[in-house]
Amino acid sequence: MFLRAYENGRRNFKQVALADVSLENASLKEINLFGADLRCAQLQSSQLGDSNLVGAVLFRANLERANLSWANLERADLRGANLQGATLVMANLRDANLSEANLTDASLGVVNLKGAILRKTNLARVDLKEAELAEVDLSGANLQDANLEEVNLRNANLEGADFRGANLSEADLTGANLGGFFRKAKLKGAILNNTILPDGLVHQ
């Protein structure tokens, strides 16, 4: 009934209950799922571009290879979600919780993650070029070989994060906690004003 309603032109599904729903390969562009319950939903390869998912519960949802470009996921609960290979270009993930989510090989160019929680999140090989990551919590996150060119990481918590092989060229790390692992990371042109070094000293 849900898909039929969408196909008939309905777009407002605010706070709908769709836990455990199977919507693989579904085309749901510009849908309003504000505050929807989509925990454990199967949304692999779904088309959710320009959708409203503000405050939606996507706990442990499977969004592998899904298209979420320009989607609004502000304050969404994406803990433990599978976003491997997903496209989130220009998406709004401000204040979203992505703790322990898998975003391996995802495309997040120019995404807004300000204030997001990314504790122990797998971001290996993701493309985050020009992303907004100010004040994010990346403690314990995996960012090996990720592209972080020109990202804003001002006042971010990078304690225990793995940046080995990552590209942080021209990134703004002002006030960030650099307690992570940066072996073979590229930091050419990076801004390191008032960063907190692993030994607790402040880099001027």
DSSP string, the chain: -HHHHHHTT--B-TT-B-TT-B-TT-B-TT-B-TT-B-TT-B-TT-B-TT-B-TT-B-TT-B-TT-B-TT-B-TT-B-TT-B-TT-B-TT-B-TT-B-TT-B-TT-B-TT-B-TT-B-TT-B-TT-B-TT-B-TT-B-TT-B-TT-B-TT-B-TT-B-TT-B-TT-B-TT-B-TT-B--SB-TT-B-TT-B-TTEE-TTSPEE-
Indicate yes or no: pTM above 0.75: yes
Give per-10-residue mean pLDDT for the chain (204 aa).
94 98 97 99 99 99 99 99 98 98 95 96 96 95 97 95 96 92 93 74 46
